[in-house]
Amino acid sequence: MTDAPLLEGKETTLDILRTAAEWRQAGKGVALATVVATWGSSPRPVGSQLVADDRGNFQGSVSGGCVEGAVIAESQAAIKDGKSRLLKFGISNEQAWDVGLACGGKVEILVTAVNGHEPMLDATLKAAEARAPFAIATDLDDGAQTLLPSAPAHSELTLAPVLRAEAERALAREKSAPIESDGKRVFVNVIAPPRRLAIVGAVHIAQQLVPMAVLAGYEVTVIDPRSAFGSEFRFPGVTLSNDWPDEALAAFKPDARSAVITLTHDPKLDDPALAGALRSDAFFIGALGSRKTHASRLERLKEQGFTDADMARIHGPVGLSIGAISPAEIAISVLAQMTQVLHGDKSPEKKDAAA
């Protein structure tokens, strides 16, 4: 089994926060800069972060390079005086073009010193260990913070009922956003673990689907007991399991942020995986194969005691009906259907097949 990132240099919010903790433990002065609002074509989305130390070293990005220099200077100032600052920048059309956008916009960036706020940083990193979505709520006036849904004992910020309700809605949507009530502005930075995808069957379609799913933000595990198929040579940089699907899926432990897709057409491999997925809270279960193959599959699952309601969770044949033929096209249709289900599209087409 191997477990390594497929994409290098793609820093997450947790990467930034872990760096901040490491730098503080090393005795450095540290500040965090966070994009809290954007207008127009901002180079970086809301929630993007940068961490800087007292010597000007930094990791992350809040503008793709447009205003990083000014933000790092303000970060060093925040480290010295301990005060947060809310910065507003206009990104010109020329600057935007340099970072790959067609036009400019505006960005609002909160800079806060980490020094003196280490308990909140520690609580944030501890919350991340639970692998469940949570949010950091930050007062944009003074930088005071708390966590949602469960505030630690040493929270610096108490949210009024209206603001708390808005913050909880942002967390439920998993969408970072500034919120406001009675003149008080709070930024809700939602941190959610990557969704996971288990692919049973290290076939050609899987080779196309894996990089697409990674780009869409999934942590991917490829399961195939045939070591010649499920090899690092064929699937570099992702988690591989050569266990039998029932054992591999038990170890994978699919939850409500997980998808499971079977691609082998072999009942010995697909059926145990589907049975395991049906016993889980996986938000998406898909199985490749013709309608005839799928009908036979459902009969076998029914014999195992699964109900019609259980089996209705399986998208089979998996993939949106877009006329897909090649492995890459089928992979596109599969990922599109996963995305459709993830975001709650209940249209009939979601049950259609691509292959």
What is the spatial distance between Cα 125 and Cα 14, in angstroms, rounded to a whole number? 8
The alpha carbon torsion through 117, 120, 121, 122 (nearest 10 deg) reads 120
Peptide bond just before 133 cis, omega within 30 deg: no
| Nearby residues of 297 by Cβ (< 8 Å), 6 or more positions away | 267, 270, 271, 274, 287, 289, 314, 316
What does pLDDT average to over the chain?
Answer: 88
Residue 69 CA: distances (Å) to CA of 57, 62, 74, 177: 11, 11, 9, 25
**Domains along the sequence of the chain with CATH:** 10-116 (no CATH), 132-192 (no CATH), 196-351 (3.40.50.720)
Residue 124 CA: distances (Å) to CA of 73, 176, 177, 246, 260: 25, 16, 18, 35, 30
Give the CA angle between residues 42, 47, 51 to the nearest 5°: 100
Say whether pTM exceeds 0.95: no
pLDDT tens for 134-167 read: 999 999 999 999 999 998 888 999 999 999 999 9
Structure tokens at 107: 């960005």
Beta strands in the chain (DSSP E): 30-40, 49-53, 58-60, 85-91, 105-113, 134-139, 145-148, 177-181, 184-191, 196-200, 219-223, 239-241, 258-262, 284-287, 314-315
How many CB atoms are located within 10 Å of the residue 187 CB? 27
Residuewise pLDDT in 10s, the chain (355 residues): 333 233 333 568 888 999 999 999 999 999 999 999 987 766 788 999 999 999 999 999 888 777 888 999 999 999 999 999 999 887 666 655 555 444 567 889 999 999 999 999 999 999 988 888 999 999 999 999 999 999 888 899 999 999 999 999 999 988 999 999 988 999 999 998 889 999 999 999 999 999 999 999 999 999 999 999 999 999 998 999 999 999 999 999 999 999 999 999 899 999 999 999 999 999 999 999 999 999 999 999 999 999 999 999 999 999 999 999 999 999 999 999 999 999 886 444 444 444 4
Structure tokens at 218: 């999934």
CA-wise closest residue to 258 among 313, 319, 333: 313
